[in-house]
Structure 1
Amino acid sequence: MNYPKSLLALAVATSFSAAPALALDLGTYNDTSISIGGYLKAEAIYEDPEQDDDRFFGRANQSRINLKTVTQKQGHTIVGFVEGDFYGGLYPGENNDLRLRHAFIKFDNATVGQTWTGQFWAVAYNDYLDFLGGPRGTLGGLNFRTTLASYQFNNLRITAQDPVNNDADAPDLAINYNLNFDGGHRLILTASGREVANGDYVGGGAIGSEIKLGRHSLTLNAHHGEGLGAFTGVGVGGSLASDVENGEAVSQTGFNAGFRYVINDQWRANVAYTKVEVDDQADTDYEAPRVNLIHNIIPELEVGVEWRKYNLAFGPLIPEGQQVEVMAKYSF
């Protein structure tokens, strides 16, 4: 296992950005290297909701900081990682408490603690500025982190995690298999299983892919099955989808496509579209397009603008309608 490469992948996934992952090395003490990382992000957002008045607001809740330790001893590698952001409160400008995002231990190929679900790793992501709604409709839709145990065998990852259903008798499960091809192309195959509120243990699957087109890239993701709304954030129950309606498990089918166009070393643009069809009576079918432009002033500092539209509301921060965001992010 290439642990520096593995941790770099974690950092990239944590920030959802094509910009280089950064960290400040504090030094090595008794076989343990220590570093801090994170970013500060300021956002200005204009909303044009379908059911309410237009509004403008700013926030910086997404800003985060992490501490990482890596110990090499007796032929083993032990990684400790803890990270928090300021989404402990729900509304912008209110109760911006520090919130635990990640807190895990990685011992060689085994990981225990709080971090991304196995379902999160099913998705090939491209750049988006909307931290709360950007991946919604994919299996990474809720930026979902939970307490879990996982083990990786080369390209195969098996994860057992704290169940979404508090009354479940068994852990939620995910199995990921990654295929990497020449030229940087990749394919991710995922199987998901969990016990839903009616007591049924249900399952589904997903395919994620990234196709390199020179400097540019195309991402295609699809999923189908029951019990997936808890991860996509779409379905019966909204952002806390129960995946059960009238006592029966609800299935859904979703598709996400994104294209990243790299203009040069400083500029890149992204366009993406997500659609989910839910087999329910509550009419929770979902679709969302988005377009953004991102400029790296220097590798550590980027600014961007994004337009997006949601056909469903997901709480006060993601209303039905259009949003335009302008942001600045400084990574360290």
Structure 2
Amino acid sequence: MFNKKQLLIATGLLAMASTSHATYTVKINDTDSISFGGYLQADVRYVDGNVNSYLGDFWIGNAVEGDVSSVKFSAASSRLNTKYVHGDITGFVEMDFYTGTGNQVLTNSVSPRLRHAFIKYKNWTVGQTWSTFMNTSALAESADFGGPLVASAFVRQTQVRYTHGNFQVAIENPESYGGDSSQDSMPDVVGKYTFSGDWGNVAVSAVARQLNTLGGESESALGYGISGRIKTVGNDDLRFAFHGGNTGRYVGAAASTDLVGEEVEDATSIMVSYRHFWTETLRSNFFYGNTETDESDRDRSHWGINIFKSVTKELSYGVEFGNYEVADMDIESDYAQLSIKYVL
């Protein structure tokens, strides 16, 4: 005979099989539940030019020169997640499949990669997730994963975060990128305040760090940012981000390092994206991002334009064209990408 808990789980699994919601929830009792989510995505990407520093389905800020003219089919961006709720306690874990290059001769196997693994209890969040420095709602919608990461705050790491209303403060994993990370003994301190309303949101954030050079010196670093998503006409929105100071590894996906020799890097990053709905099921995005650094004299930019069609609430496809330029090395590459996504 089924007991009460088994019956609730069986009922929840049956609902999962028939529901069309993006996240499937199994309600165990009045306080406990398990949710499953994620998406399956297939991408076809063509890259042509002399910048060869892209990882699978997206560009990073670190530039590698080399002629490239290639097409790649991939499903590595697919991801799966699970959320566990027990009263005031929430646990969340998510993985994708970007680890390894796979065997393209026979099986194209790739390995799971941990994205998020954290615990939430009332005002506290502990574990690996997006850095408090980020405003994820400001990221551009793109086929190329993350869009102009070259100018966006983009870091996942382990942290301890306290949230009070619109204010968040955290201590996060330190890493002296370009220096001696083995001597990192002080956590990064991050604070953010988010203004929000029916109009959208704007977040102001700052990060303070102690960096350790290869020469054995300790240097203080302070980075700041303002980012947001503003509703405009109809369902359209404008997304933007401006970051400055010693943002280092927190912005640009390796477009700048924390340290250059014995000096702390100073960078300026600008990102803007506009999303326009042609119809309820057809939308386009245009985005541009640029990062410039002082010590290393880097100048990296990425722009793209796309169009997405929602076949159903869960199924969509889109195509994107764009360009990634490394002005400081006088190289660039164009790309085209087709993506098909099924949201679970």
TM-score range, shorter chain: 0.7 to 0.9
Displacement of 1:90: 4.8
Deviation track 1:146-197 (CA, whole Å, cap 9, x = no partner) reads: 111101010001111111233212111211100013x323211001122223
The 5 Å alignment of 1:24-173 reads 24-29=24-29, 31-50=31-50, 51-72=66-87, 77-90=88-101, 93=104, 96-121=110-135, 124-131=138-145, 134-140=148-154, 144-165=155-176, 166=181, 167-173=183-189
Partner-residue secondary structure (3-state), 2:67? coil
1:208 aligns with 2:227: yes
Displacement of 1:263: 1.6
Q: What is the percent sequence identity of the aligned residues? A: 29
1:223 aligns with 2:237: no
Displacement of 1:123: 6.3
Asked if the contact 2:203/2:228 (under 8 Å) is kept, the reply is yes
Letter in 2 for 1:206: G
Distance 2:103 2:75 in 1: 8
Deviation track 1:56-111 (CA, whole Å, cap 9, x = no partner) reads: 11111111111111122xxxx21110111111215795661111111110001110
Displacement of 1:289: 0.8
Distance 1:111 1:255 in 2: 29
Moved more, 113-122 or 217-226: 113-122
For structure 2, list consecutive stretches of 5 or more residues without a partner in the other structure: 1-19, 51-65
Asked if the contact 1:150/1:159 (under 8 Å) is kept, the reply is yes
What corresponds to 1:197 in structure 2? 212
What corresponds to 2:9 in structure 1? none
Aligned alpha-carbon RMSD (Å): 2.2
Partner-residue secondary structure (3-state), 1:136? helix
- The structure that has the greater radius of gyration is 2
Moved more, 32-41 or 47-56: 47-56
Asked if the contact 2:252/2:291 (under 8 Å) is kept, the reply is no
What corresponds to 2:252 in structure 1? 233
What corresponds to 2:333 in structure 1? 321
What corresponds to 1:23 in structure 2? 23
Asked if the contact 1:122/1:206 (under 8 Å) is kept, the reply is no
Asked if the contact 2:273/2:285 (under 8 Å) is kept, the reply is yes
The 5 Å alignment of 1:258-269 reads 258-269=273-284
TM-score normalised by structure 2 residue count: 0.80
What corresponds to 2:289 in structure 1? 274
Letter in 1 for 2:161: S
* Pair 49,82 (structure 1): closer, same or farther in 2 beyond 3 Å: same
What corresponds to 1:17 in structure 2? none
Distance 1:105 1:208 in 2: 26
* Pair 312,69 (structure 1): closer, same or farther in 2 beyond 3 Å: same
